Amino acid sequence: MTSGEAWFEYGDICNSVACWQWTDWVVAIAFVAMCVFGLWLAFTDPRMKQRPPKDRRGWWF
């Protein structure tokens, strides 16, 4: 039996972070990194610091 099969069998009672597989950690870290990177881009984008012009069609371009 592989660790993946054991995880599916005991997933209902073993739901804590200590029982995560390494693949779960990779997915979780990648998701958090993507969110942080997206927020960082949004707040550091010089276009976001400027006020949107009255004609909003050209704001993002």
In a domain, 53, yes or no: no
In a domain, 39, yes or no: yes
In a domain, 16, yes or no: no
The dihedral through the CA atoms of 12, 36, 57, 49 has a sign that is positive
What pLDDT, in 10s, does the model give residues 6-15? 555 555 555 6
In a domain, 29, yes or no: yes
Domain count, the chain: 1
List the structure tokens of 36.
């942080």
In a domain, 32, yes or no: yes
Question: Hey, how many other C-beta atoms are within 10 angstroms of the C-beta on 52?
Answer: 11
What pLDDT, in 10s, does the model give residues 12-31? 555 666 677 888 889 999 99
Buried b (16+ CB within 10 A) or exposed e, 11-25: eeeeeeeeeeeeeee
In a domain, 28, yes or no: yes
Domain that holds residue 35: 22-46
